[in-house]
Amino acid sequence: MSASPVVTRFAPSPTGFLHLGGARTALFNWLYARRHGGRFLLRIEDTDRVRSTQPAIDAILSGLRWLGLDWDGEAVFQFERAGRHAAVAAQMIERGDAYRCWMTAAQIDEQRAAAKAANQPLRIRSPWRERDDGPADQPFVVRLKAPREGATTIDDQVQGPVTVQHAELDDLVLLRSDGTPTYMLAVVVDDQDMGVTHVIRGDDHLNNAFRQLPIIRAMDWPEPVYAHVPMIHGADGGKLSKRHGAVGVEAYRDELGILPEALDNYLLRLGWGHGDAEIISRAEATQWFDLAAVGKAPSRFDLKKLENLNGHYLREAGDGRLAALVAARLGMADDPALDLIERAMPALKPRAANLGELADAARFLFAERPLPIEADAAPLLDGDARGTLARAHAALDAVGRWDTEALEAAVRAVAQVAGLKLGEVAQPLRVALTGRRTSPGIFDVLALLGRAESLGRIADQMEEPAR
């Protein structure tokens, strides 16, 4: 372990929901800090006043909380620190590492056109780099005096060593003409002031690292360790975006009914591995996580795998917790409903891959008589089946204690007497009791519904409905 305590941070721009890629970045930062007994900080990069919104901030905070990614201390809001950013720019001018630049839009356009004609990327060469006698009453920006000789190599913990020639860098803007800081300056100053030791972020920021390091070096600040994590791609190999389906964490929670521990486990495994382990608890992840095992290649998002993991975590989850989640989905939050769903949960949860399916499977508990029969189940209630229902009704009506054992004995006896297989009795019962072809085990269904409701639902289907 390094001598200085590890400090990581997650630095989202609040311009939309918490993206899956962002959630994974946050998770990696959280795990790295926890693994090393360090601190995990949160900084909201809200300097873009037009695109930053309060709903986006709320979505990010609630998404992180839902995923169990608690941050240390208060979240830092970057915009509030604009004065400090400007002060650093002023210090850099004083030290000779930045300069005021009065280039006009026309001059910049000229360089852009020349670069285009020469088929070169635009690298601003400002005439003000070495002089400070510009027109005092005219607007200026502050530019970094970037090194032009030599090269910088970053020993990236994920990408390996990456080198950029300084000749490829330009004198980027630190302060705009209205005095507001640019992203490049703000990130560096904030990381320094927050004591960040490890910058773990998406590899779309790798190029930025080479622009940020000269600022850090100019200020004689300690250089962080960098780890640039590959992006998440969709099944077709393109960068994960809306066209691949949901990309916001809250959609996985609200629409797809994923449990947070399942999403955490999935995101962790997406691009990081520990031997063959697929199911990895938070405690294990905190012990095992390291940057060396983060893959260099982009990983592909696979909803099926996520749902498999989710099914696992649903089966592990406490029945009371699941009942509350399901009740909320069904809009049935009163105590008797919660209690019934909780009692049904052991029978419901082995089949479900998400909370939506779980809620759907629980719906029969609250259906009102006479039950609507789903279209694909209706053909199962033919004349023979209705006759079987009548026999089952008589047998069940005679049951003493309404428990699964007695119910099973009664239904088996009906089958035996009628010379039918158990399934030939169970299936019409299932349709009558739930309105569907699939449900938990029929004895569980009978027990959960209780005597009066079960017998009522069966009686409702014993006769062909009048047309």
Which residues in this chain contact ligand GLU in the complex, by CB under 6 A? 11-13, 45, 187, 201, 205
The smaller minimum CB distance to ligand GLU, of residues 208 and 404, is found at 208
The smaller minimum CB distance to ligand GLU, of residues 10 and 313, is found at 10
The smaller minimum CB distance to ligand GLU, of residues 187 and 385, is found at 187
Give pairs for 52-56: CB < 8 Å, separation 24+. 52/13, 52/14, 52/15, 52/79, 53/14, 53/15, 56/14, 56/15, 56/16, 56/17
Nearest to 373 by CA among 365, 381, 383, 384: 381
CA 300 to chain centre: 14
- Does residue 421 carry a catalytic annotation? no
Nearest to 45 by CA among 29, 56, 30, 31: 56
The smaller minimum CB distance to ligand GLU, of residues 27 and 322, is found at 27
Q: CB of 299: closest distance to ligand GLU in angstroms?
A: 18
Q: CB of 15: closest distance to ligand GLU in angstroms?
A: 8
DSSP class per residue in 147-204: --SSEEEEEETTTEEEEEEGGG----EEE-TTSPBPHHHHHHHHHHHTT--EEEEEGG
Nearest to 140 by CA among 191, 183, 89, 189: 89
User: Could you give the CA distance from residue 104 to residue 326 in angstroms, rounded to a whole number?
Assistant: 62
The smaller minimum CB distance to ligand GLU, of residues 45 and 171, is found at 45
C-alpha separations of 276 from 6, 175, 262, 303, 306 in Å: 28, 49, 17, 20, 16
Q: CB of 373: closest distance to ligand GLU in angstroms?
A: 51
Q: Encoding tokens for residue 114?
A: 């020349």
The smaller minimum CB distance to ligand GLU, of residues 198 and 430, is found at 198
Q: CB of 62: closest distance to ligand GLU in angstroms?
A: 17
The smaller minimum CB distance to ligand GLU, of residues 219 and 418, is found at 219
Instruction: Tally helices (H) and strands (E) across the chain.
Output: 18, 12
CA 217 to chain centre: 35
Q: CB of 279: closest distance to ligand GLU in angstroms?
A: 30
Is residue 175 a contact partner of residue 203, using CB atoms and an 8 Å limit? no
Name the DSSP letter for residue 294.
B
User: Could you give the CA distance from residue 286 to residue 406 in angstroms, rounded to a whole number?
Assistant: 49
Is residue 240 a contact partner of residue 298, using CB atoms and an 8 Å limit? no
Residue of 116, 242, 305, 349 with catalytic role? 242
Nearest to 354 by CA among 266, 236, 288: 266
Is residue 216 a contact partner of residue 188, using CB atoms and an 8 Å limit? yes
CB-CB neighbours of 234 under 10 Å: 18
Q: CB of 207: closest distance to ligand GLU in angstroms?
A: 12
User: Could you give the CA distance from residue 385 to residue 389 in angstroms, rounded to a whole number?
Assistant: 6
The smaller minimum CB distance to ligand GLU, of residues 224 and 257, is found at 224
Q: Encoding tokens for residue 169?
A: 């860098």
* End-to-end alpha carbon distance in the chain: 78
Q: Which residues are catalytic?
A: 242
